[in-house]
Amino acid sequence: MKIVAVANQKGGVGKTTVAMQLAAHLSRTFRMLVVDVDPQGSTTWWAQNMAAHIPFDFADDHDPGVLTRLRELDDLYDLVVVDTPGSLEDTRTLEAVLDAADYVIVPVVPEPMAIDPTLRTVTRLIEPRGLPYRVLLNRVDGRIPGQYQQWQTVLQDSFGLLTFQSYLRQYLIHAHAPMLGRLVTNLADTRRTEGSIADITRVGFELTSHLQSGLHSRW
Ligand SMILES: Nc1ncnc2c1ncn2[C@@H]1O[C@H](COP(=O)(O)OP(=O)(O)O)[C@@H](O)[C@H]1O
Ligand SMILES: [Mg+2]
């Protein structure tokens, strides 16, 4: 079992979106648990809107103590994804998650204001724990030529961050998904949805290749 934290002290960068959509995609191959430790409970709200369609197990627990017991679930799950709160002030819950994690996905949006909190998260909380991580560019605007390359260069070369090669583009489908109870696994595969599904699929492949050792597929 691997525990993957989705973390960035900056709010609104896509932590909840990445945790839920990636978990849905990976639930096709792995036994998945999603844990929501964010007191705002966005993931929990989303899960409630899913009715019976949620393709993974879900735990809503704001007591960081639960994290130390996650390893007891080793036989039940291949992968645990933990959605975390985004705050620069209260880092207690986030630190408890990182103490338990094997790997961190750090979503970021291509906006200058997002850089400083992202750097702080990586240099103060993730790197000192020796945790493997990758920054994941989210809300890339497909209409802006070169935006992805430019931001990859900034993140890697200017700030020395490790990044996913894959990225998520901005789609209305992602913005509406929590309210409508949608995940990539219950979206009709049409011309309107194919981009968002393809993006999540690519990130899923890249993540599993990073985690490969020790991960056992059900099949
Ligand atoms: N790729 C995307 N395309 C469109 N909207 C997005 C995308 N990623 C996130 N959003 C929207 O941006 C807002 C913040 O995302 P969220 O996942 O809640 O971030 P966080 O959990 O980091 O606060 C939400 O309204 C969400 O629906
Ligand atoms: Mg969130």
Q: What domains appear along the chain, each with residue ranges and CATH number?
A: 2-211 (3.40.50.300)
User: Could you tell me the strand order of the sheet in which 79-83 lies?
Assistant: 57-60, 32-36, 79-83, 2-6, 103-108, 133-137
The Cα 132–Cα 66 span in angstroms is 22
> Residue 213: what pLDDT?
62
Q: How much is the pLDDT for 39? A: 84
Can you tell me which atom of ligand 1 is nearest the CA of 168?
1
Closest CA to 197 of 211, 213, 177, 219: 177
Going by alpha carbons, the residue nearest to atom 17 of ligand 1 is 14
Q: Which residues of the chain have pLDDT under 50?
A: 217-219
Q: What's the angle, vertex CA 33, arms to CA 92 and CA 106, rounded to 5?
A: 50
pTM: predicted TM-score of the whole model, two decimal places: 0.95
- Distance from the alpha carbon of residue 122 to the mean position of ligand 1, in angstroms: 20
pLDDT tens for each residue of 102-149: 999 999 999 999 999 999 999 999 999 999 999 999 999 999 999 999
What pLDDT was estimated at residue 64? 67
d(CA 94, CA 140): 26
pLDDT at 218: 43
- Ligand 1 pocket list (CB less than 6 A): 11-17, 42, 86, 138-139, 168, 170-171, 174-175
How far, in Å, from the CA of 1 to the mean position of ligand 2?
23
C-alpha 92 chain-centroid distance:
19
10 CA: nearest ligand 1 atom: 22
Which residue of 108, 174, 176 sits with most ligand 1 atoms within 8 Å of its CB, as the best mutation to test the pocket?
174
Copy the structure tokens of residue 170. Answer: 């901005």
Provide the β-strand partners of residue 2: 79
pLDDT at 50: 85
